[in-house]
Amino acid sequence: MTKSVEIVQNILDSNDRIAAGNKEIFNAHQIFAINMMASPGAGKTSFILRTIEKLPKGIRLGVIEGDTAPVTIDSDKVVAAGMPAVQINTGGNCHLDAVMLEQGIKALPLEDLDLVIVENVGNLICPAAFKLGTHINILVASIPEGDDKPYKYPAIYRGVDVLIINKIDLLPYIDFRMDYFKAGVEMLNPDLRTFVVSCKTGEGMDAWVSWLAAQVNAVKNK
Distances (CA, A) of 145 to 41, 45, 139, 190, 219: 9, 16, 13, 21, 34
Output the pLDDT for position 10.
66
Give the pTM. Answer: 0.92
Output the pLDDT for position 90.
86
pLDDT tens, residue by residue, 160-169: 999 999 999 9
Rounded distance between C-alpha atoms, residue 213 and residue 166, angstroms = 20
Identity of the amino acid at 171:
L
Distances (CA, A) of 67 to 85, 89, 160, 190: 13, 5, 20, 31
Give the mean pLDDT of the chain: 93
β-bridge mates for residue 117, sequence order: 34, 63
Q: In this model, does residue 1 exceed pLDDT 50?
A: no
10-19, 39-48, 91-100: range with highest mean pLDDT: 39-48
**CATH number of residue 168's parent domain:** 3.40.50.300
Contacts of 99 (CB under 8 A, 6+ apart): 15, 18
Report DSSP letters for 52-67, one per residue: HHHSPTT--EEEEEEE
Output the pLDDT for position 9.
60
pLDDT tens, residue by residue, 172-209: 999 999 999 999 999 999 999 999 999 999 999 999 99
C-alpha gyration radius of the chain: 17
Q: In this model, does residue 2 exceed pLDDT 70?
A: no
Tell how far CA 177 is from the center of its chain: 24
Q: In this model, does residue 129 exceed pLDDT 80?
A: yes
* DSSP strand pairing (61-67 vs 193-196): unpaired
* DSSP strand pairing (85-89 vs 32-38): unpaired
Output the pLDDT for position 7.
47
Identity of the amino acid at 128:
A
| Residue 122 · residue 153 · CB < 8 Å | no
| Residue spans of alpha helices (H) in 42-160 | 44-54, 73-80, 98-106, 149-152, 154-158
Q: What number is the average pLDDT over the span 78-105?
A: 92
Report DSSP letters for 1-57, one per residue: -HHHHHHHHHHHHHHHHHHHHHHHHHHHTT-EEEEEEE-TTS-HHHHHHHHHHHSPT
Tell how far CA 145 is from the center of its chain: 17
Confidence bin at 137 (pLDDT 50/70/90): very high
Tally of structural domains, the chain: 1
Domain residue limits at 107: 2-220
